[in-house]
């Protein structure tokens, strides 16, 4: 993985740095089925997931040299389901987490609706348990019900709370609240995971991923809902921030750790 990104627009957190083909402008409607339904759809989905798991495990281990630290923090606490969060710094970051950490937990990966714009890719993404976050109010009602049901049945959803992809960014950007809302409504833990990059010893222009799995954090149910949401978000943010600060050398370019910057910077644009 070659790091070609040298600067980031730190006054515009709500934008992708790396652009992808978003196809035909796909939009969910209120009839959209967010997850495979019925015996045959589910069987096909699990078959694809099993094949993908094998292929990506081999690829990430043998060709990308991905390391995983503290995987036990997920394995020993994954009986009740929960919300997986991560810093969004690579096109394949959640795929790495799915293949090497969560594995047969069959996490539902929440992604931007625009990512489903390419028709063929859209079909495979659905059966690989990627779920578009709808912009339509009516579709969002069904989306919320489906994801709450996943958590209530001790399943997992995965969300990038920064919202947008900034490849190889060594800092942490402000969080959106959706992930923490799901955790609080369903009284589930949040599993923070941090994607880091180490420099290659031989190929100096290349970097290689490390996934560090942090201990799960639980909602403080003694707080009112909004305060609980802010508290859980901030605790997760601070743990991930601490991990990044401890890993990267002091003075690494383009670090940004301001949890409250979203309200200030985005509203001023």
Listed by start position, the domains of the chain span 38-266
pLDDT for the residue 269: 35
pLDDT for the residue 112: 87
**pTM for the predicted model, two decimal places:** 0.89
pLDDT for the residue 215: 97
- DSSP labels, 213-265: EPPPB---TTS-HHHHHHHHHHHHHHHHHHHHHHHSPTT-TT----TTHIIII
pLDDT for the residue 67: 96
Report d(CA 158, CA 102) in Å as an integer: 10
Q: Which helix H or strand E contains 82, and what residues bound it?
A: strand 82-86
pLDDT for the residue 242: 95
Mean pLDDT by 10 residues, the chain (269 residues): 65 72 77 94 95 96 95 95 96 96 95 83 91 94 97 97 90 93 97 92 78 98 96 97 89 51 40
Give the CATH class of 38-266.
alpha beta
Alpha-carbon dihedral 59, 61, 64, 69, rounded to 10 degrees:
140
């Amino acid at each position: 993985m070659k790091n070609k990104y040298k600067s980031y627009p730190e006054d515009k957190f709500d934008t992708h740095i790396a652009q992808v083909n978003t196809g035909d402008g796909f939009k969910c409607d209120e009839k959209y089925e967010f997850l495979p339904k019925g015996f045959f759809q589910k069987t096909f989905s699990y078959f694809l997931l099993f094949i993908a798991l094998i292929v990506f495990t081999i690829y990430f281990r043998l060709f990308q040299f991905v390391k995983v630290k503290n995987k036990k923090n997920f394995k020993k606490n994954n009986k009740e389901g929960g919300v997986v969060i991560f810093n969004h710094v690579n096109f394949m970051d959640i795929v790495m987490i799915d293949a090497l950490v969560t594995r047969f937990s069959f996490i539902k990966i929440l992604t931007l609706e625009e990512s489903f714009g390419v028709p063929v890719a859209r079909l495979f993404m659905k059966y690989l348990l990627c779920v578009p976050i709808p912009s339509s109010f009516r579709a969002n009602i069904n989306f919320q019900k489906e994801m709450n049901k996943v958590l209530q049945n001790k399943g997992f959803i995965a969300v990038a709370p920064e919202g947008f992809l900034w490849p190889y960014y060594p800092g942490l950007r402000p969080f959106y609240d959706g992930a923490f809302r799901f955790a609080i409504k369903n009284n589930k833990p949040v599993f923070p995971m941090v994607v880091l990059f180490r420099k290659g010893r031989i190929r100096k222009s290349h970097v290689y991923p490390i996934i560090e799995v942090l201990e799960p954090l639980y909602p403080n149910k003694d707080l009112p809902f909004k305060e609980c949401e802010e508290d859980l978000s901030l605790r997760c943010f601070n743990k991930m921030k601490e991990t990044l600060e401890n890993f990267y050398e002091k003075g690494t370019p383009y670090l940004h750790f301001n949890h409250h910057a979203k309200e200030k910077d985005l509203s001023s644009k």
